Amino acid sequence: MKLDSKVPAGPIESLWDQARFDMKLVNPANKRKYTIIVVGSGLAGGAGAATLAELGYNVKCFCFQDSPRRAHSIAAQGGINAAKNYQNDGDSIYRLFYDTVKGGDFRSREANVYRLAQISVNIIDQCVAQGVPFAREYGGTLANRSFGGAQVSRTFYARGQTGQQLLLGAYQALERQVAAGRVTMYPRTEMLDVVVINGRARGIVTRDLVTGKIESHAADAVALGTGGYGNVYYLSTNAKGSNCTAAWRSYKKGAAFANPCFTQIHPTCIPVSGDYQSKLTLMSESLRNDGRIWVPKKAGDKRPPGQIPEEERDYYLERKYPSFGNLVPRDVASRNAKAVCDEGRGVGETGLGVYLDFADAIRRLGEHVIRDRYGNLFEMYERITDEDPYKVPMRIYPAIHYAMGGLWVDYNLMTTIPGLFAIGEANFSDHGANRLGASALMQGLSDGYFIIPYTVGNYIAQAKLDKVDTTHPEFRNAETQVNCLTKRFLEIKGKRTVDSFHRELGKLVWDYCGMSRTASGLEFAIGKIRELRDEYWQNLNVIGSADELNQSLEKAGRVADFFELAELMCLDALDRNESCGGHFREEYQTPEGEAQRNDDLYSYVAAWEYTGPGGDPVLHKEPLTFEYVHPSQRSYK
């Protein structure tokens, strides 16, 4: 396997223009003769499918939900960045590019990030034209806010539902193409394998989740917009159905998987309340603007917060980072919360939580001001926890919510399998080791509306594809494999449910490959994961049959893939002997306890190649060079 990033040569400002000019075009009259499969209907997949259809291609779009409008992009709250500089506060494409490369802790590809910043401005225009009801000023112009520690106001938003509104824009564009007959939509259909013929991706095998029917679909190119793998941790802020199956099965067919250990942990989530808990709920990061974070000084102090006097409280972020205080970046805030809980000073019944206290802000500003700023969040918190945050401090704890890693792609967003593209969170491309707030939506839409419509055409124009249909033996082989796997799950007839394994796996990954990692812990985890995986294949209990709606059978396949991914994550984390972004190796920290990168040895993208069942994955390195933004150490003291 050879990694060729295909980044054109030249000054960074003109790379995308140059690349577009160099691309081969497909004659408009010929486009309808080509079929493109898009898997996933979120911001990347939905936008990509709609736009490819607008160009005239014949598109088949697949999602496992009952409607494309339910893709998990819908849950994004905060906003979407764009270098519009509408606020006249010094923003520019270059500044957004610079912030994103630096925020990614210098582990992303400069050319991709620059293109993302360039396209960001077109995204806002496109979404406005579609009727996305962005927040407005009284004069009628678009409103902005600052977000995620940026020093300029470049975030566009639609209340706390920006992801929902952007997704509905893409969904409506998609439905318009469905009505026009250019997109065939396959809801409740899960991709279970990619079919590679003569070295090129030529289709997929799917399962109809209602009838259980296994089907093949042939195409000239396949694009995966299948999201991230945060659910490997079981408890995460991802939707329950989010999974890595499409990406993972592509990996097993020859697509390299990049930087799997780069996962992001969000510091302000509502803590776990019991062992029945099914998922975690995010509370907006903006709460840290007015809330003060503390834990008791004494370990095991179980008094209610109101009875702990001021001098027995430890405002640990203010103590350790006097200049940034409670506003340190996500990775630092998360790690410190874990550290105090590990010392036995965590709060709440489980001891896994820290206080986020608004008492001072209420005293200083009055309850009405706090209600104006955070009323809806306080209400949501109270609804879940039954505690009134105006009277009792909130309890928060970090949770997984995004995967920076994903399928390796070149500048054209093509994986190492020709004809297989990966877009949005499913690829690894733009966020390096840490994603900044309000940039996931930007990347999804950039990939979908403005990048793959060009690059897929360029591929098709040059590929000289033979006619292939689903009678090809490779489709039969893939179908047989899928059927065997399904049969195997149903025949184990063991004692444990899928969820009980998933929960145990998630805890292992969280404990050893979560907020902080050590070589010995990772090695231990790999052993444990293998042990548990062996048990999975012997003691799993999947009730029901293959030819009906069977939600535990669906989960069984996804969790089987999570087991394998979890091992690769640990392997990748073990290889990376440095701390950067969301990846914190305890052995590599500065004397003050901060993350210590090693740019000499680890300034690369780790792309893993599958070598068959039982074989060790092979690491390929794509070196990263920084011509424009020079690596520096982050400090928040």
Establish if 327 lies at the interface with another protein (CB under 8 A). no
Q: Which of 184, 350, 539, 541 binds another protein (CB under 8 A)?
A: 541
Measured between alpha carbons, how far is residue 148 from residues 213, 261, 288, 435 in Å?
A: 45, 22, 11, 10
Establish if 266 lies at the interface with another protein (CB under 8 A). no
Among 566, 610, 467, 561, CA closest to 192: 561
Establish if 231 lies at the interface with another protein (CB under 8 A). no
Question: Hey, is 5 helix, strand or coil?
Answer: coil
Cβ-count burial of 440 within 10 angstroms (0-12 exposed, 13-18 middle, 19+ buried)? buried
Establish if 25 lies at the interface with another protein (CB under 8 A). no
Establish if 343 lies at the interface with another protein (CB under 8 A). no
Establish if 179 lies at the interface with another protein (CB under 8 A). yes
Residue 544 CB, nearest approach to another protein (Å)? 6
Q: Which of 184, 277, 470, 539 binds another protein (CB under 8 A)?
A: 277
Q: How far apart are CA 430 and CA 442, in angstroms?
A: 10
Among 60, 68, 55, 61, CA closest to 35: 60
Complex with another protein: residue 178 or 463, whichever CB lies closer? 178
Measured between alpha carbons, how far is residue 577 from residues 333, 509, 583 in Å?
A: 22, 18, 10
C-alpha 1: how far from chain center: 26
Q: Which of 54, 215, 586, 622 binds another protein (CB under 8 A)?
A: 54
**Cβ-based neighbours of 243, under 8 Å, separated by 6 or more:** 226, 229, 231, 558, 561, 562
Establish if 483 lies at the interface with another protein (CB under 8 A). no
- Residues 136-155, one symbol each (x = binds another protein by CB under 8 A, - = not), give xxxxxxx-------------
Complex with another protein: residue 481 or 552, whichever CB lies closer? 552
Write phi, then psi, for 623 (nearest 5 degrees). -65, 145
Establish if 538 lies at the interface with another protein (CB under 8 A). no
Site for another protein in 378-407 (CB under 8 A): 383-386
Among 575, 570, 557, CA closest to 498: 557
Among the residue ranges 170-178, 465-473, 528-536, 584-592, the one whose residues contact another protein (CB under 8 A): 170-178
Q: Which of 172, 184, 481, 518 binds another protein (CB under 8 A)?
A: 172
Tokens of 500: 């009980």
Residue 282 CB, nearest approach to another protein (Å)? 8
Q: Which of 50, 269, 399, 606 binds another protein (CB under 8 A)?
A: 50
Establish if 375 lies at the interface with another protein (CB under 8 A). no
Establish if 278 lies at the interface with another protein (CB under 8 A). yes
Measured from the Cβ of residue 198, the count of other Cβ atoms closer than 10 Å reads 10
CA dihedral 593, 529, 65, 473 (to 10 degrees): 130
Complex with another protein: residue 59 or 75, whichever CB lies closer? 75
Among 74, 35, 28, CA closest to 223: 35
Helices (H) and strands (E) in the chain, counts: 17, 19
Q: Which of 178, 197, 461, 546 binds another protein (CB under 8 A)?
A: 178
CB distance 182 to 58 below 8 Å: yes
Q: How many residues does the chain have?
A: 637
Q: How far apart are CA 637 and CA 621, in angstroms?
A: 33
Among 226, 223, 181, 229, CA closest to 204: 223
Complex with another protein: residue 177 or 416, whichever CB lies closer? 177
Establish if 161 lies at the interface with another protein (CB under 8 A). yes
Q: Which of 10, 13, 32, 133 binds another protein (CB under 8 A)?
A: 133
The residue to which tokens 């933004």 are assigned: 629
Complex with another protein: residue 72 or 109, whichever CB lies closer? 72
CB distance 489 to 219 below 8 Å: no
Complex with another protein: residue 130 or 589, whichever CB lies closer? 130
Q: Which of 171, 316, 475, 512 binds another protein (CB under 8 A)?
A: 171
The residue to which tokens 């970046």 are assigned: 329
Write phi, then psi, for 620 (nearest 5 degrees). -115, 140
- Residues 60-79, one symbol each (x = binds another protein by CB under 8 A, - = not), give -----xxxxxx-x-xx----
Establish if 130 lies at the interface with another protein (CB under 8 A). yes
Among the residue ranges 21-29, 126-134, 300-308, 626-634, the one whose residues contact another protein (CB under 8 A): 126-134
Residue 448 CB, nearest approach to another protein (Å)? 9
Tokens of 432: 């390096």
Question: Hey, is 526 helix, strand or coil?
Answer: helix
| Identified catalytic residue from 207, 288, 292, 330 | 330
Among the residue ranges 310-318, 432-440, 536-544, 621-629, the one whose residues contact another protein (CB under 8 A): 536-544
330 labelled catalytic? yes
Site for another protein in 561-620 (CB under 8 A): none
How many chain residues are in contact with another protein, going by CB under 8 A? Answer: 79
CB distance 601 to 577 below 8 Å: yes
Residue 47 CB, nearest approach to another protein (Å)? 7
- Residues 431-470, one symbol each (x = binds another protein by CB under 8 A, - = not), give ------------------xx--x-----------------
Q: Which of 481, 497, 518, 598 binds another protein (CB under 8 A)?
A: 497
Q: Which residues are catalytic?
A: 330
